[in-house]
Amino acid sequence: MMIKTLPQVHIETFGCQMNESDSELVRSLLKQEGFSFTEDRERADVVLVNTCAIRENAHKKIYAHLSELKTVKKQRPLVVGVLGCMAQNLKSELAQKEPLIDVLAGPDSYRQLPSLLAAALESQEQGFSQKGFALDLSEYETYDGIMPDRVTGVNAWITVMRGCDNFCSFCVVPYTRGRERSRDPESILLEAREALARRFKQITLLGQNVNSYRYGEWDFAKLISAIADQPGIERVRFTSPHPKDFPPTLIEAIATHPKICKHVHLPLQSGSDRILDMMGRTYTGAEYLSLAERIRAIIPDVVLTTDIICGFCSESDEDFQATVRLVEQAQLDSAYIFKYSERKHTIAARKYADDVPDHLKGQRVAKLVEIQRAITGERNRRYIGKTMEILVEGDATRSSKQGMGKTDGNITVVWEKGTGHSEPGTLMTKHIFDASAATLYGK
């Protein structure tokens, strides 16, 4: 399919780190076929929206964004593509309700994007609209051999596996990203070396459940250690593991390798054993606490963070109080706390009623956030008076006169800029003199 002029593409990414990584793949695939990219939506011939399907708020944001694009499309020629998890999960709804969409492509179909967009652009030039959908899930696609087109920065995302076999009842990922498959470790190492050659100082390894990584004799502990051994790397992170199968070899690797960050994001979801069973999480609250204690015993300075869902189907006050008790007992460093939102095609949507009133979900989220904020503030105050190594990321959000970076444990540190060198990617030491529930303050 030939295009008369080089089309300008603008891509907008919603959702998780995996979507950020996928957008880098898409840029690479399209650039190989002659497309170019622009940060200015007004100059774009094609707008791609890379979507998330995890929570209702993400859906609302994306639908609002598509409404804006509908207005733009009435004013000038424009090809609109919707990519990612929402495209995969709501393909029929999007195709029917959003006639402005020219291309729908799921997470396993990005290799088809160049031809789909070329066809849409050519049909538009000829005065008619040709829709292109590519929404098949693959058992094999890992995008090995595609070097992501990364924007210069400090951190490089590297996806080490795609899909998920856990089928937690609330989660849509197995239906939007397919079954679990691991990438060739040599391909991952090649990608890591390319990122380091471009002066990225930190690599974050991504997977829906990195603990399940398997490729021949390689497990995740061996993989992350091999990445951490690469010359020029300063830090290696990963997300996310599952509490059901956290191997001792991975704990040992985190504890002993100086380049592997002492931070573990360990999703809890609920403190109620009844709710955990309904969620299909395959562990109890006591087993989660035991794992957290074991990790802390081997890695004393580890930072533990988590995800929690409030208001899952049939969650009672007693179930919620069980979550409160576990949060208070675990004393985790921070938590992302969300209201449950039913997702189409999930086990929970088929089996359980979403029967907790929305206002009650909100009250429970607010209460748990308050409790966790106090815990996080107290834990952060432990760092006051200590000198910590910081990887500089750039300017602070509130003021360009302040620098911002992260500790090894992924805690944000802010400081007043002085005469010292503080370019992004620089490792610096800061004396912590104050702390809040969100930030450490250094000098």
Each residue's pLDDT tens digit, 427-438? 999 999 999 999
Same domain (yes/no): 431, 377: no
Same domain (yes/no): 406, 360: no
Tabulate helix, strand, coil % of the chain (nearest 5): 40, 20, 40
Token pair 């390894």 in the structure block, residue: 205
Same domain (yes/no): 376, 390: no
- Whether 143 is in a domain gets the answer no
**Structural domain tally of the chain?**
4
Phi-psi label, residue 44: left if phi above 0, alpha if psi -120 to 50, beta otherwise: beta
Same domain (yes/no): 99, 19: yes
Average pLDDT (76-98) is 84
Same domain (yes/no): 28, 109: yes
**Last residue in a domain, options 240, 261, 282:** 261
What pLDDT, on a 0 to 100 scale, did the predictor assign at position 421?
63
Query: Among residues 275, 345, 283, which one has the least CA distance to residue 310?
Result: 275
Residue 380: what are its φ and ψ, rounded to 5°?
A: -65, -30
Each residue's pLDDT tens digit, 178-192? 999 999 999 999 999
- Whether 374 is in a domain gets the answer yes
Same domain (yes/no): 398, 362: no
User: pLDDT band at residue 422, thresholds of 50, 70 and 90?
Assistant: confident
* Residue 33 DSSP SS3: coil
Are 380 and 436 within 8 A, CB to CB?
Answer: yes
Same domain (yes/no): 223, 125: no
**CATH number of the domain that residue 341 is part of:** 3.30.750.200
Same domain (yes/no): 112, 189: no
Q: Which domain holds residue 214?
A: 154-261
The answer, yes or no, to whether the previous bond of 270 is cis (omega within 30 of 0) is: no
What burial letters (b/e) apply to 322-344, b meaning 16+ CB within 10 Å? bbeebbeebebbbbebbbbbebe
Q: With 60 as the cut, is the pLDDT of residue 200 above it?
A: yes
Beta-carbon contacts of residue 93 (< 8 Å; ≥ 6 apart): none
Same domain (yes/no): 248, 331: no
Same domain (yes/no): 12, 114: yes
Residue 435: what are its φ and ψ, rounded to 5°?
A: -155, 145
CA–CA distance, 320 with 368 (Å, rounded to integer): 9
- Whether 70 is in a domain gets the answer yes
What pLDDT, on a 0 to 100 scale, did the predictor assign at position 1?
44
User: Structure tokens of 176?
Assistant: 């939007």
Each residue's pLDDT tens digit, 119-166? 999 988 876 677 888 989 999 999 999 999 998 899 999 999 999 999
Find the distance separating the first CA and the last CA of the chain, reported in whole Å: 58
CA–CA distance, 181 with 396 (Å, rounded to integer): 38
Average pLDDT (286-292) is 98
Average pLDDT (31-51) is 94
Instruction: Count CB-CB contacts under 10 A for residue 414.
Output: 22
**Last residue in a domain, options 242, 261, 280:** 261
What pLDDT, on a 0 to 100 scale, did the predictor assign at position 123?
87
- Whether 149 is in a domain gets the answer no
User: pLDDT band at residue 253, thresholds of 50, 70 and 90?
Assistant: very high
- Whether 148 is in a domain gets the answer no
**CATH number of the domain that residue 87 is part of:** 3.40.50.12160
User: Structure tokens of 49?
Assistant: 């929206």
Please name every residue paired with 134 in a beta bridge, in sequence order, or none if there are none.
105
Same domain (yes/no): 370, 281: yes
Same domain (yes/no): 237, 317: no
Are 367 and 318 within 8 A, CB to CB?
Answer: no
Q: CA 160: distance to chain centroid?
A: 13
**Last residue in a domain, options 84, 105, 134:** 134
